[in-house]
Amino acid sequence: MSRDHQKSSPPGGSTRSLRVGELIRHAVAEILTQGGVHDPVLESHLVTVPEVRMSPDLKLATIYVMPLGGRDEKLVLDALEHHKRFLRGEIAHRVNLKFAPELRFRIDERFAEAERIDRLLRSPAVQKDLEPNSDQD
């Protein structure tokens, strides 16, 4: 691969890996929304799929999920892991790829990180620094 090609790739991966990740994200979200996985944990939780990251060779899909309200994360991850084979087969039927990628599930930490930053910005120490004339101490 030429150096010029690497520089022109969008952040987060190649255009193709981003497109395939988005197709897989839609497929997984649709499967979970329609109740395609018969599992009591998954049937009792609304699970969002905010992002899917593909490896450069498209053989591994890291699927970021978040149960509504952030509750029972471990149970939801375990249920998804348990049904990984079924989900991979369903994705293969819905997304036209030469090979169905291996699936890896992770909790999406962006919501927790955003809340942590928000709390930090509202903290008294930061508010004090934001006050006018705070640099004249």
How many Cβ atoms are within 10 Å of 131's Cβ, its own excluded? 8
- Tens digits of residue pLDDT in 8-41: 445 556 899 999 999 999 999 999 999 889 999 9
Fold of 3-108: GMP Synthetase; Chain A, domain 3 (3.30.300)
pLDDT in tens, 121-132: 787 877 777 777
Cα 109 from Cα 16, distance rounded (Å): 25
Res 55 pLDDT > 60: yes
120 in Cβ contact with 105 (< 8 Å): no
What pLDDT digit, counting tens, does each position of 86-122 carry?
Answer: 999 999 999 988 889 999 999 988 766 667 777 777 8
